[in-house]
Amino acid sequence: MGVKRTLLIVFLLIFGCTKEAPEKLPIPTGDEPQIPINFGGGIINTKAPIVSTSGIPTTQIDGIQVLRQDVHKNSSPNWSTVSSVSATASFFPYASDPASSVYNFVVTPKQYFNSSKNNYSHFTAYYPGVNENAVATTIASGVATFTITGQEDIISAPSVNAGGTDAHSLPVSFVFSHKLSQVQIYVKAANAGAITAWGNVTAVKATSATVLNLTISTQALAQHATPVVTDLSTGKPPQALTTDFVSFGSILVYPGSLTIKVTTANVPEQTVTITPSITTVAGSSHRIDLTFTATAINFSATLTDWVTGTSGTGTVQ
């Protein structure tokens, strides 16, 4: 008797929520008293690991990179010239309180308006920052480059005009959007026979571009000019199958076509067919349900006499 193993897959697209983030930025020089720039509460447009409640993150986010440009009030910033970070910020999991000058988005160093009333200050921001959460991040000529591992979010906020010294009554607020897609993996066995046939689930991976460029001026995320494609794992330890769906972690991937690979204790890595095929979307969370099945097959055999056949060659795969 032999065993035929079959893996069934179902996906569910989970729609997301939104958040916003406030900000504060660098310090211009001048003889006049410096007027601080306040950064109010923000929102993150999200459906991925950074989670919010009423626009506030549920956990503190550190290492946000803040960029600043001061230009004439009738001009617009040219972010393509920026090759350095002006400040860093932390986004705290509590509501801001403008009445007491306490805000949930804190920028270091503190930012001040330009001493010239004709120059307006513009800000933009992104996360993760340099080497934040083990992500290699650089910025040059207005392009931030990330090398992801599948376990970190990328968020960014378009440019915000803080105005000048004559227009500073309202706090600056950023609106962050998710640039990656989240793939949630759930696994179960169809029956006890499948549990025995497959053994523990040891790895689930999603294929994704891993070196990504964020163009600051357009907020567009794209693959690096020299593409790097890697199988990214959930990073979960081996897990026993049960007959109920259980989470096996999640993977953050570059949006696009989705390829899933599965390895178990008893079966080497194989690529799984997803039905229907899907394309992941930035800011969306896609649930993938993997059902492991095993079907017993009865065999019979006969033995024939040797005969001389045609010679040939073959490849064992």
Within 8 A by CB and 6+ apart from 66, the residues are 23, 24, 25, 85, 86, 87, 88, 89, 107, 123, 124, 125
The CATH number for 2-14+181-209+229-295, chosen from 2.40.40, 1.10.1760, 2.60.40, 2.40.50, is 2.60.40
- Half-sphere exposure of residue 89: CA atoms within 13 angstroms, side-chain side: 36
CA distance 129 to 66: 9
Q: What is the pLDDT of residue 43?
A: 62
Is residue 102 scored above 70 in pLDDT? no
Whole-angstrom distance, CA of residue 219 vs CA of residue 228? 21
**Band (105; pLDDT cuts 50, 70, 90):** confident
What integer pLDDT is reported at residue 18 of this predicted model?
A: 34
Over residues 216-241, the mean pLDDT reads 95
By three-state DSSP, how is residue 257 classified? strand
Sorted by where each begins, the domain ranges of the chain are: 2-14+181-209+229-295, 21-129+155-178
Report residue 153's pLDDT band, with 50, 70 and 90 as the boundaries: confident
Which residue is listed with tokens 């983030």?
21
Q: Residue 172 pLDDT more than 90?
A: no
pLDDT for res 199:
94
| CA-CA-CA-CA dihedral for 207, 210, 214, 215, to nearest 10 | -90
Compute CA 88 distance to the chain's CA centroid, rounded to the nearest angstrom. Answer: 20
